[in-house]
Amino acid sequence: MTEELLRAEHISKRFGGVVALDDVSLTIRAGEICCLVGENGSGKSTLIKIISGVYTPDEGDIYINGHHYKRLTPIEAIHEGIQVIYQDFSLFPNLTVAENIAINELLASGKQIVDWKEVEQIAREGLAKINASLPLDAVVETLPAADRQLIAIIKALLANARIIIMDEPTTALTQREIQALFNVIRELKQRGLAILFVSHKLNEVMEIADRTVIFRNGKKVLDQEAAGLDIPTMAYYMTGRR
Ligand code: ADP
Ligand code: MG
């Protein structure tokens, strides 16, 4: 299970005088949980935005499923199976669970009349993909963050994600919810998806990572199998200090 899904090579990105990324390369493989670690401002979100087509890199190349991109559009990234779960989950707060899960298929179908049985069917199938059970008719804004996050993950799966990117996904979660999220992430890995898990919480990285990549000041300073790493070593690479 080492199929390469995405390779970003020699990526640099500046914002005015700020060098957000400096000659960074990253490979993402199927069935691998890759943790991207770094202090605030180290360039993590900038890299995510580049590999999801939101920002254009100043330099570098992106290869996804064997296709080469100098610049990638958000639509191309989605077609290549890249899905980002942002911290706000990008849901419709006043629609139900079922409507949120099914809305992309509903819109794509172009039908003028909504078939509610079909909506519920899509939602049930989506929930089953991650063994989740949520009330289909609950309004999404009434749900805790963990449940909204599950809906966002299901939507990513229904959009044929091959790489799911989560930017600081545990910020709004309780300890118990974090463990539930980790179980879902492991399930996705079993299905052969790649997970890019972005965090600066080293205990979480210790628990979930197969491979750990560390950024400091826009540079990649470490990229190795997680098994050989401990928290003091990671903290050293993150900060540059013992
Ligand atoms: P991280 O996600 O690791 O906290 P970011 O990628 O958000 O880091 O930011 C890296 C650097 O680039 C920071 O110095 C940040 O201020 C700067 N930066 C990020 N996005 C922008 C932007 N849109 N405009 C200007 N500066 C930005
Ligand atoms: Mg960030």
User: Is the pTM here over 0.85, yes or no?
Assistant: yes
What pLDDT was estimated at residue 52?
Answer: 97
Whose alpha carbon is nearest atom 22 of ligand 1? 15
pLDDT at 1 over 70: no
Whose alpha carbon is nearest atom 25 of ligand 1? 15
Whose alpha carbon is nearest atom 12 of ligand 1? 20
* 200 alpha carbon – ligand 2 mean position (Å): 9
Atom of ligand 1 nearest to the CA of 47: 6
What pLDDT was estimated at residue 138?
Answer: 97
Please write down the HEC assignment for all residues of the chain. CCCEEEEEEEEEEEECCEEEEEEEEEEEECCCEEEEEECCCCCHHHHHHHHCCCCCCCEEEEEECCEEECCCCHHHHHHCCEEEECCCCCCCCCCEHHHHHHHHHHHHHCCCCCCHHHHHHHHHHHHHHCCCCCCCCCEHHHCCHHHHHHHHHHHHHHCCCCEEEEECCCCCCCHHHHHHHHHHHHHHHHCCCEEEEEECCHHHHHHHCCEEEEEECCEEEEEEEHHHCCHHHHHHHHHCCC
Q: What is the mean pLDDT of the segment spanning 113-124? A: 90
Residues by chain with Cβ below 5 Å of ion ligand 2: 44-45
Ligand 1 surroundings by CB, under 6 angstroms: 15, 18, 20, 38, 40-46
Atom of ligand 1 nearest to the CA of 43: 6
* 46 alpha carbon – ligand 1 mean position (Å): 6
Lowest mean pLDDT among 106-110, 202-206, 235-239: 106-110
What pLDDT was estimated at residue 43?
Answer: 97
Q: What is the mean pLDDT of the segment spanning 209-220? A: 98
* 238 alpha carbon – ligand 2 mean position (Å): 14
Ligand index nearest the alpha carbon of residue 15: 1
